[in-house]
Chains A and B, each alone.
Chain A
């Protein structure tokens, strides 16, 4: 019971930290950082996504190797999307 209560507290704290990071994203958007505005936004988004994947999706502490395989495959296919789309974008001007 106490373990359940502790985990609930942890998840509430985690949820609040995600909301705080959202507020930081909004705040950072109004600060002129030049080309670094999208960098900061993406960095915060990545931190938030990592927290969600590790804790809310229970990837951290998962004992099954399959869980790791699923996560790695997901990121692998995301990498394919980004790499091949960028392969077009970055070489469009080449003649």
Chain B
């Protein structure tokens, strides 16, 4: 009888963004930023597992020294597809397009993004780019690596360069639209009282990311067009036989593609700031430094691109300048790491799953970042260029950094997105699998690279002593795969069977926690007025103590 008097599902009685229409049309033509975020989440997850499939093919091939699983040409296509899918269809959009799309309006007290239809268009462009790359993959693929280096890409290979380039071109416009939307929204639609100094650091990070998307992506789009023009019409842009300069391609490509690394990592850094504060119950140490270091990374990140070209034949003097600037970009990243660590000091730390991912991020990103300084050093770079050392370095940043941040954020905001709690025990187990699997996969690659194993080779039978480390790496990738599959299973499970979440299950600061879980279509019943600083955990703690005393 008592249970009949209490509504069984009080949180789901009100219409929310998930229950506001169930038809396919209501999803495919939605302009609700939260639904678009869910559409992105589904499509990006599909591409993540497709990219992961190619990663497993690569690791299986390298299990033995001989090229015995696939033909070497097929191997070239496998690592190209792995790189293209992971970079353009997973790492670049994963945080801004999913968590960013969902959270930016919620965190600033807005009803939606500034241009909801452009937001939907950006998802359709992403899907169109995805269809193009899938078609390219199924009809022959491309074998240049995701970097499309000339003159191989323009004058020699007969694989589907133009179609693959078009896929990246279209996906690039998707991210330009996302960046444009975020910049205008953050400038124009903040709730009253939400000044720049009160913005959550996730917003600062997405703002800085959007600047790079807007300023950098058009350059790579034009570069792809130039590759197509040279291939189709033999105009001399990159081919020296036609009066072009092959290094010009690398300059243009990396002018975008190095800052693209910051497109990937900055939003994850924003997530980590949110997690560290929420699970240590403290305001972030040095708010202004953490906020402005995001912008500093975005700006300085545009000055370092030629460190990818140290052995390509660029001027020694330019190389020295780029080497110095690369060391310089490490400073704002280090500020973040030190400030997160200082935030933990005397914090009331709890070890929920999102915090485990945050700890993982700090450790792995630090290794990834510091090995980046090895590569910024001209002499060492000459030794390890195009070896597995480089592969290990950027996977520590992109997988150890971006993916750990994304998974941490997804667990943190899952109750807000779905209105359900995930199973904490399974989640902690999967975090452990991811951390152990990741290190087992990629740490041996540092040693392999330092010993001289080149990247992008299917066959290392002339160096059979490399096999032990490769076996370890392949074994680690299997553990990592289990770590990624587990969340997929329990998140889907929680949609139906997870306990209902209240508005603020973590007792966290931030406007997104002041509305229902899942939020209503227009986010807030009344526009919130912000009268407090970001991460005011001291005030929240005092309020809780007063409530307990009164209770």
Residues of A within 8 A of B (CB): 66, 73-74, 77, 80-81, 84-85, 87-92, 94
Contacts and interface: CB of A to CB of B under 8 A. Distances in A.
10 contacts: A73-B211, A81-B252, A84-B305, A87-B315, A88-B247, A88-B306, A90-B315, A91-B318, A94-B315, A94-B317
A21 to B, nearest CB: 20
Interface in B288-309: 302-303, 305-306
Given A66-B187, A80-B302, A85 B317 contact: no
A92 B314 contact: yes
B247 to A, nearest CB: 7
B313 interface: yes
Nearest to B256: A81
Contacts of A73: 211, 215
A89 B299 CA distance: 23
Interface in B243-265: 245, 247-248, 251-252, 255
Nearest to A87: B318
Interface in B142-184: none
A80 B212 CA distance: 14
Contact of B302 (A66, A77, A94): A77
A84 B324 CA distance: 13
Contacts of A84: 303, 305-306, 318, 321-322
B242 interface: no
Interface majority SS (helix, strand, loop, mixed), chain B: helix
Nearest to A88: B318
Nearest to A73: B215
A34 to B, nearest CB: 15
Nearest to A77: B215
Contact of A91 (B248, B306, B317): B317
Given A73-B211, A73-B215, A84-B305, 19 more contacts: A77-B302, A80-B303, A81-B251, A81-B252, A84-B303, A85-B248, A85-B251, A85-B252, A87-B321, A88-B251, A88-B318, A89-B245, A89-B247, A89-B315, A91-B318, A92-B313, A92-B314, A94-B315, A94-B316
A31 to B, nearest CB: 19
Q: Which 9 A-B pairs have the closest CB atoms?
A: A88-B318, A91-B315, A85-B251, A92-B315, A88-B314, A91-B317, A77-B215, A88-B315, A87-B318
Contacts of A80: 302-303
A88 B219 CA distance: 18
Contacts of B322: 84
Nearest to B317: A91
Nearest to B319: A88
Contacts of A91: 315-318
Most chain B CB within a 10 A radius of its CB, from A74, A80, A88, A91: A88
Contacts of B216: 77
A90 B302 CA distance: 20
Contacts of B306: 84, 88
Interface string B201-214: 00000000001000
Contacts of B321: 84, 87
B378 to A, nearest CB: 14
Contacts of A85: 248, 251-252, 255
A5 to B, nearest CB: 28
B311 to A, nearest CB: 13
A65 to B, nearest CB: 12
Contacts of B302: 77, 80
B390 to A, nearest CB: 21
B381 to A, nearest CB: 16
Contacts of A89: 245, 247, 315
Nearest to B313: A92
Most chain B CB within a 10 A radius of its CB, from A66, A90, A91: A91
A94 B316 CA distance: 8
A88 B320 CA distance: 10
Contacts of B245: 89
